[in-house]
Amino acid sequence: MRTLLELLRISRLPRARVAASVALGALAVLSGVGLMAFAGYLISRSAERPPVLSLTVVIVAVRFFGLARPLARYCERLTSHDLAFRLLAHMRVAFFAMLEPLVPARLEGYRRGDLLARMVGDVDALQNLFLRGLTPPLVALLSGAVAVAVCAAYLPAAGLVLAAGLLAGGVAVPVVAALAGRRYGARQAGARGELTVELVELLRGAPELVVLGADGAALARVAALDAELTRLARGEALAAGLVEGLGVAVVGLTVAGVLAVCIAAIAAGTLDRVLVATLALLAMASFEAVAPLPAAALRLQATLAAGRRLLALAGREPAVTDPARPAPRPAGSEAALEHVGFAYGGDESWDLSAVDLRLTPGHRVALVGRSGAGKSTVAALLVRFLDPGEGRAALGGVDLRALCQRDVRSRITLDAQDAYLFSTTIRENVRLARPEASDAEIEQALQRARVWEWIGSLPDGLDTFVGEEGASVSGGERRRIALARTFLGGAPVLVLDEPTGHLDPETAADLIGDALRAVDSRSVLLITHRPEGLDLVDEVITLRRGRIVSVQAAQRRPAPA
C-alpha cells in the first residue's frame, strides 16, 4: 500500500479526468445491466401476449441501453487510455528528473542494462497503475452499488444474494489472484531486468565474445534467463486461468442463489413471475463490474514490483544538492581546492587528503599521476559532482556548496575522459553545450578544435551522424568533437580529464597543442598520466595515492600554431 500511495503521489493524476473515466466506466456497466434487465423483462412479458403498446416503454429502454452501452464504453476507453498515456509521460519525466542528480556519483552500483530496464520496462508497467489498479475498483464500487440497490428494490433477499456474490467476486477472488500474483508477478520485473542486462552486455561485447570464443556461454546465460522469465509468465498465466474459473463459479452460484430466492418469493406471492428473468439477468450482467478485478489484482503485483524498483533507484540521495538559498554567482573565475579531503566510503580513510590547487585566470596546470591516484576525483570536485569531506572547493572565493550547481558548471566545465557523443549529427553533439548557438559559432568551435577541415571533407558535413557513442568516427576525431563542445560552452575554467586517452603519441601531442592554443586566456587544468603537453603548462602537480607529492613550476612554451 505504501508503494501504491507513493506512486499515486508522484503521478499527480488530474482528478477531473479520473472522475470522468470512472463515471463513463460505471455508465457502460450500468447500461449493460439495464440492457439485460429490460431485455429479460421484455421477453418474459411478451410471452403473456399483452397489447404491443404496453411494451413501448420497455422496447425504447432496450434500444436506449443497447446504444448507450457501446457509446459509453468507447468514451470510457478513450478517456482512460488518454489518461494512462498522460500518466506514463509524466512518470517517465518525473523519474528521469529524480535520476538526473544521481548520474555523476550515485549510480556506480547499477549496470547499464539494469538502468535501461528500469527506465523503459518498469516505467511502461506503471500504466497499469491507473488502467488496472485505480479505475476498476472505483467503477465496480459505483456500478455494483447501483445494481444491488435496484435488485433490492424489487426483492430485498435477491439484493442481499447479489451483494454477497459481488463482494465475493470483487474482494475474495482478487485476494486469491493477488496471492497467486505475488509468487509470479513480483519476480517477473527482476527477471526481465536481469535478461535486459545480459542482452545489453551481449550486444555491446559481441565482437570480443566471438573472438575469445565466449559467445556460447553468453548465449547460454541469456537462454537460461529467458527460460526463467518464460516459466514465470507461464505460471502467471496458469494462475490467471484458475482465478478466472473461480470468478465464473462465483457468477454461477450467485445467479443460482438469485433464482432460488425469486422462486421462493413467487411461491409466497411477493414477486411477479415476469420479474424472475429480469432479476436473474440483472445479477448476471452486474458481474461485468467486478470481472476486471481479479486480473487487475494479478497484474498489480508486477506493477508494484516495477514501482518498487523505480522508487529504490529514485530514493537514493544525490551526492550534491543545491542550497535552499544559493549565493549569487561570483564575479571572479578563480577556481581552487583548499586543503580538500574526500572519501568515497564516507569515513576518514581519505581517497584524497590535504589537496591544494589554484587555477587563476590564464593559468595552466597539469595534474599528473598513475591511474587511481585521485585525478578524476579532483575533476569531479571542481565541477561539483562531489562535495569535499573536509576543506572546501571554491569559485571566486565562494564555497561551491553555497552556489547553485548550474552556476558552478557555467563557469567551470569538464571535458571528461569518457565524454559521450550522442547518436545524432556532429552539429547537434556540439550544440549541446549551448543550444542557442548558431552554425557559425559551432563552426568556429570546431575550427578551434582543429577538426573543421575534416568535417568539411565529409559528404554531409555538420549533418554527419557519428553513430552510437561516436562509433562511426575515429578516437581522435571523437575527442576533438568533444573539445569543440567544451569550447562552445565558453566557461572561463576548463578541466580536461585525460583528453589523450587511447590516442597514439603523435595524435595526442597534436590534440593537446591544439586544445591549449585554442583556450586563449582561460585557465586550464590538464589531467593526464602521459607526457604530451606538459611543456605547454605553467605548473605540474604530481598526485600519488590521493596526496600531492610534488609541485613543479614549468617554463611554458607557446602551443604550436
Please list, in sequence order, all residues whose beta carbon lies within 8 angstroms of the beta carbon of residue 219, skipping any fewer than 6 positions away: 202
Q: Is the dihedral of CA 209, 213, 219, 220 positive or negative?
A: negative
Q: What is the reported pLDDT for 525?
A: 92
Position 333, amino acid: S
pLDDT higher than 60, residue 530: yes
- Range 412-433 average pLDDT: 88
- Residue 240 pLDDT: 80
Give yes or no for residue 401 having a pLDDT over 80.
Answer: yes
Separation between Cα atoms, residue 429 and residue 123, nearest integer Å:
27
Domain ranges of the chain: 2-188+231-314, 335-553
Chain segment 75-107, per-residue pLDDT in tens: 999 998 888 888 888 888 888 888 777 776 666
Phi, psi of 357, deg, nearest 5:
-150, 135
pLDDT on residue 560: 52
pLDDT, greater one: 132 or 30: 30
Segment 487-509, tens digit of pLDDT:
888 889 999 888 876 677 887 78
Look at residue 481 and give its three-state secondary structure. helix
Report pLDDT digits (tens) over 277-318.
999 999 999 999 998 888 778 777 777 777 887 887 777 778
pTM for the complete prediction?
Answer: 0.68
193 vs 389: which has the higher pLDDT: 389
pLDDT at 60: 94
**347 pLDDT higher than 60:** no
Assign 136 a pLDDT band (cuts: 50, 70, 90): confident
Burial class (CB in 10 A: 0-12, 13-18, 19+), 151: buried
CB burial of 248-267 (b: ≥16 within 10 Å; e: otherwise) equals eebbeebbebbbebbeebee
Most confident of 44-48, 190-194, 301-305: 44-48
Domains 2-188+231-314 and 335-553 share a fold: no
Measured at the CA of 351, the angle between CA 350 and CA 355, to 5 degrees, comes to: 85
Q: What value does the CA radius of gyration of the chain take, rounded to a whole number of Å?
A: 34
| SS3 state of residue 325 | coil
Q: How far lies 213's CA from each of 196, 220, 221, in Å?
A: 22, 13, 14
Cβ atoms of 193 and 121 closer than 8 Å:
yes
The pLDDT value given to residue 141: 93
- Residue 272 C-alpha cell reads as 411477479
Q: What is the DSSP string of 268-297?
A: HT-S-TTHHHHHHHHHHHHTTTTTHHHHHH
Task: Using pLDDT thresholds of 50, 70 and 90, give the confidence band for residue 111.
Answer: low
CATH H superfamily, domain 2-188+231-314: ABC transporter type 1, transmembrane domain (1.20.1560.10)
3-state DSSP assignment of residue 390: strand
Look up residue 4 and give its three cell numbers. Answer: 501504491
Task: Give residue 110's pLDDT.
Answer: 67
Confidence of residue 113 (pLDDT cuts 50, 70, 90): low
In this model, does residue 555 exceed pLDDT 70? no
Domain 335-553 sits in CATH 2.60.40.10: no
Mean pLDDT of the chain: 85
